[in-house]
Structure formats: structure tokens, C-alpha cells
Amino acid sequence: MTSTLIAGAVCAPVLGRLGDMYGKRRMLIVAPSVMSLGCVLGTLSDEFVLVLLARILQGAAMGVVPLGISIMRDELPEERLGFGIALMSSTLGAGGAVGLPLTGVVAEHMSWHWLFAGAAVLGTVLIVLIVIVLPESPLCSGGRFDSVGALGLSAGLIALLLAITQGNLWGWTSPIELGLAAAAVLTLGLWAFHEMRLSARVARSAAHPRQPLVDLRVSARTPVLLTNIASVLIGYAMFTSFMVSAQIFQAPR
């Protein structure tokens, strides 16, 4: 679970920026393609390392939602945009509510391999529907990819999420835990400084070839900031309920 969340946290902004550069529809095809590849790998393998790799590849699917919302902002009229974004966002909670008990039934009565196989079929169907139905957005910013920002965000998120998820196992005051926490703070601080400096360069010259991976100035605006805080709190509550309920069900009588 940790590997999938880390991959998704990194893939969402990276795929969003690549979508701005090379086409959102194209990246919307890439994301489920990578996910489906991981599902096929998980279907065919019993080796832990390969299953872990399959779960990492599945994390690319988390880039679908921001890409879809971006396409809707480009394509839908103003009066339909709010409903479209709300409908797509609600699928995150609805998918978990339906998926968790459904996958539990499949794993108990069939095999966990079928979970990967079913996700591969759904990913393939999604790719076909995107190719047939979805038009390419005409809005592309071009420019160069912020590779330093992508590496910094990846390193910072990996250190942060590993520290949070493995704290009970490693010990919250263990050297590796404290080292990861310090590395996360330092790396994300340097990453934020780099992104802000790049945003300032773009603000001075709109023709600057390298756009920031994440425009933190936009994220600091009150409507965006409050929405993101609410999303973090709701996501925390949702995933905590998922994890804690599963642990309670597995606890000794």
C-alpha cells in the first residue's frame, strides 16, 4: 500500500505537467497503460519483489483524476464544469467504498491474482474509451520539463511517506526514522525554494522555457489552499478508517 501511494503522489504532478507539455489526452492514455502493465505483472507473478513492482506501477493510475479535471477545465462550458469536477472527484470515495468489500470477497473465495487481472481488464477498457471518446485538449504550454523539481518532489515524498508509514515498525526514535524525517524536511524545503524561484523567473518572463512542476504561488491562494487542506483532512479520515477497520477485523477475538 505504501509503494502505491508513494508512486501515486509522485505521478499525479508529473503526469499533470507532462500533459501540459505533450497533451493531456496522451498522458491520460499513458497512466492506465502503466497501471495495466503493473496489473498484468501482478497477475502472473508470485514473487514478492515483482508484486511490489506491480503495485508501484499501479500508482500511476492516481494521475488520471487531475488529468481528467484539467481536460474538463479546457473543454466544458462554465455552467457544467463544477458538476463534472465534483462527479470525477466523488469517484475516489465511491470507488473505495465499493472496491474494498468487493476485492475482499474475490480474494477470499478466488485468488488475489484475480484482483490484478480484473484491474487490468478495467484499465484496458478505460484506454479504449479514451481513444474513442475523448478529444485532445487544444491547450498545451510546451516548454522544458522540470526534472530537478520532479526528482526533489519524489525524494522528499518517499522519505516522508516511508517515515510515516514505517514508524511503528522501525520505532519513532530510531536512527533510520529520524534520518528519513530530517531528509524529508530538508529535501522538501529545498524543493519548495527551487519551485518558487522558477515561478518567479516565469513571472518575469512568460517565454521562460522551463515551467515549475508545481506552481506554489497558486497553491498558496486562499481558495486553493483551503480546498487542499480540506482534501488532506478528508483523505486522512477516509484512509484511516480503511486501515483501522481492516486491522480490527484481523485482531484476535
Residuewise pLDDT in 10s, the chain (253 residues): 778 888 888 888 888 888 888 888 888 899 999 999 999 999 998 889 999 999 999 988 888 888 888 888 888 888 888 888 888 878 777 777 788 788 888 888 888 899 999 999 999 999 999 999 888 777 777 677 888 888 998 899 889 988 888 888 888 999 999 999 999 999 999 999 988 888 887 777 655 566 787 888 888 888 888 988 998 898 888 878 877 887 888 888 8
The grid cell for 158 is 518517499
What Å distances lie between residue 129 and 15, 47, 55, CA to CA? 19, 32, 24
Per-residue pLDDT reduced to its tens digit, 98-142:
887 888 888 888 888 999 999 999 999 999 999 998 887 777 776
pTM for the model: 0.76
Residues 6+ apart with CB under 8 A from 54: 38, 39, 41, 42, 45, 116
Side-chain-side CA neighbours of 84 within 13 Å: the count stands at 17
Q: Which amino acid is at 142?
A: G
